Structure 1
Amino acid sequence: MADTGRIQLSPMRKRRGRSQWRGMVYIAPAMALVIVFFVMPVLFTGWMSLHNWPLMGASRWIGFGNYTRMLNDARFMSALNFTAYYTVIVTIAIFAVAFPLAIFVEKERQFVSTYRTIIFLPVVVGLASASLLWVWLSNVDSGFIGPALKALGLVEKSPNLLATFDSAFLTIIVMVVWKIAGFTMIILLTGLQAIPAELTEAARIDGASRWQRFRHLTLPLMRRTIALALIVSVTGSILAFDQFYIMTSGGPQNRMISVVYYIFNQSFVSFNLGYGAALSIVLLAILMVISVAQLWLLRVGDDRP
């Protein structure tokens, strides 16, 4: 009997082995792209970070010198603090706008498809193009926002919205929310539509108010969707560059230099390529830690498979 069992299992193992090899062949092109365009550049960046790597001339091994240098780099710490501040503010603003919009367009009503399209439309505009558009809108002479504020009686004369830190920061926040909220809305909308209607109806029949249904039913069932939207928003905010470079050039008074902007300056303005590589590796590590922490925190108590 034992020999018969081995004879019967052998063809199954062979078929399973062929299926595994076939699967490896199918994913090989994608794996090759990941290795060539992600893994190898990251490894090379890590190697560069251990060197004094000028634009011209030979590189020189300095070990962890670039990493110890950033501990005493006040400008890097300032960029890190500003990036953290911007990330918190813009993420809260995006969710504050995207969640109500997702709830609004989740219900089937007249023209709901039109509403979804209009809200999502800014997402298809490139971030650089959106930044240039808002530079024009904020222009004190030819823009639209300043004259509109003046016509509404909110200001006496058209302000230069990009001249001071507070007004420039607020303008960038509004631009990013206008640009990104539609994408976050779509992510949250998929989570809302995945909630069984029977659960919501049962809670309503049991006398739960709209707020109670949202707090005790909607939010817990959307934990994974919120985690995805939050990771996308936080990652994009930490990597912010275009809006600061195009709209304010890091000003006023160099107070809007994000971490990526600082890496750009060190690498391609000052040509400290080794130091820029070390900053990039640290930023990658920060992103990985934040993403893992968000996934863990948002899945606490989630016993679903």
Structure 2
Amino acid sequence: MTTSALTSATRRRRPKRQAGWRGLIYIAPAMALVTLFFVLPVLFTLWMSLHKWPLLGEPAWIGLRNYTRMFTDARFFNALGFTAHYTLIVTIAIFAVAFPLAIFVEKQRPLVSLYRTIVFLPVVVGLASASLLWVWLANVDSGLFAPLFDMLGLTSGRINLLAKFDTAFLTIIVMVVWKIAGFTMIILLTGLQAIPAELTEAARIDGAGRWQRFRHLTLPLMRRTMALALILSVTGSILAFDQFYIMTSGGPQNKMISVVYYIFNQSFVSFNLGYGAALSIALLLILVTLSVVQLWLLKVGDERP
């Protein structure tokens, strides 16, 4: 190769290298934040999980004993089972409410902006604040639900909705749906609005009814958006803590202790910080596995050119 050809090739590679370094400079602040607030805490938590780490005193190396302890911890598996049950129920309930709402507010109709605002308003309320609000609403003496249900004949007298497992669980589900459905609605609404109107009109002209258009056109084109909403809903439900801690304190009879609540108890009530760290790592692995599975299912059925 001649000298001029080598020089030309070097000049062509130089802009690519400069662009690469420029890109690294642009993402450096984000990488620093991720490293500082995620990678380093995870590594430190992993280090803690290999120790018997008391609140006061020197930590002692115990290797994998915290992890082997999990497999014989019945309360941990009870918390996992309750969290899975809660996640399944609340995710179905959120989608059952959010999808029809998204379809309703997607159409141009009078006051549609007002409807969207009203549905989305609970999202801006913090979960802890929403839980405190619903504790007051469910209060027997000063709340709204007890006298209202008694007046409507739904209960015989005023009852404490948070005193029994069934009514407390239902109250929390309704509160979370009221709080989260507006956010899921907005995500689904963006997916609906991204569907080309020409496709819907062509399907209608070809004689496809509403159900056929929904099944064969809307749902396939909404698959990625629904997957995003599903991942956010499942992850948020598995990490649920505020509503159980504030509204029921894990009761009645400790039947409403989620995984995060159990980690909190082990770490900051029993002061088993090492075991709490091991439980946190296990929960992180569960979340990563579920996200990978959902992303894999998202790719299944993709049409390749």
Q: Give TM-score, length-normalised by structure 1.
A: 0.98
Counterpart in 1 of 2:154?
154
What letter is aligned with 2:302?
D
What letter is aligned with 1:255?
K
Query: Quick check: 1:223–1:299 contact (8 Å CA) kept in 2?
Result: no
User: Structure 1 residue 60: deviation in Å?
Assistant: 1.0
Q: Count residues in correspondence.
A: 305
Counterpart Cα distance in 2 of 1:155 and 1:272? 43
Matched, 1:4 2:13: no
Counterpart in 1 of 2:183?
183
Q: Which stretch of the first structure deviates more once superposed, 247-256 or 28-37?
A: 28-37
User: Structure 1 residue 206: deviation in Å?
Assistant: 1.1
User: Structure 1 residue 207: deviation in Å?
Assistant: 1.2
Q: What are the Cα deviations for residues 150-184 of structure 1, in whole angstroms up to 9, with x where unaligned?
A: 22222221211000000000000000000000000
Give structure 1 stretches of 5+ with no counterpart.
none
Counterpart in 1 of 2:222?
222
Change (3 A) 1:304 1:166: farther
What letter is aligned with 1:64?
L
Counterpart Cα distance in 1 of 2:106 and 2:6? 56
What letter is aligned with 1:211?
W
Query: Quick check: 1:79–1:262 contact (8 Å CA) kept in 2?
Result: yes
Change (3 A) 1:176 1:304: farther
Q: Which stretch of the first structure deviates more once superposed, 161-170 or 15-24?
A: 15-24
Give structure 2 stretches of 5+ with no counterpart.
none
Counterpart Cα distance in 2 of 1:277 and 1:265? 12
User: Structure 1 residue 2: deviation in Å?
Assistant: 4.9
Counterpart Cα distance in 2 of 1:33 and 1:298? 29
User: Structure 1 residue 18: deviation in Å?
Assistant: 1.1
Counterpart in 1 of 2:72?
72
Counterpart Cα distance in 2 of 1:218 and 1:37? 39
Query: Quick check: 1:79–1:259 contact (8 Å CA) kept in 2?
Result: yes
Counterpart Cα distance in 2 of 1:90 and 1:3? 69
Counterpart in 2 of 1:265?
265
Identity %: 77
Counterpart in 1 of 2:192?
192
Q: What are the Cα deviations for residues 231-262 of structure 1, in whole angstroms up to 9, with x where unaligned?
A: 00000000000000000000000000000000
Alpha-carbon RMSD: 1.2
Describe the SS at the equivalent of 1:156.
coil
User: Structure 1 residue 5: deviation in Å?
Assistant: 3.3
Counterpart Cα distance in 2 of 1:298 and 1:149? 43
Q: What are the Cα deviations for residues 27-65 of structure 1, in whole angstroms up to 9, with x where unaligned?
A: 111111111110010001001101111111111111110
Change (3 A) 1:37 1:219: same
Q: What are the Cα deviations for residues 105-160 of structure 1, in whole angstroms up to 9, with x where unaligned?
A: 00111111111111000000000000000000000111001111122222221211
Counterpart Cα distance in 1 of 2:172 and 2:200? 38
Counterpart in 1 of 2:210?
210
User: Structure 1 residue 3: deviation in Å?
Assistant: 4.0
Matched, 1:110 2:110: yes
Matched, 1:244 2:244: yes
Counterpart in 2 of 1:126?
126
Counterpart Cα distance in 2 of 1:201 and 1:9? 52
Counterpart Cα distance in 2 of 1:265 and 1:153? 39
Counterpart in 2 of 1:301?
301
Counterpart Cα distance in 1 of 2:294 and 2:2? 51
Counterpart Cα distance in 1 of 2:28 and 2:34? 10
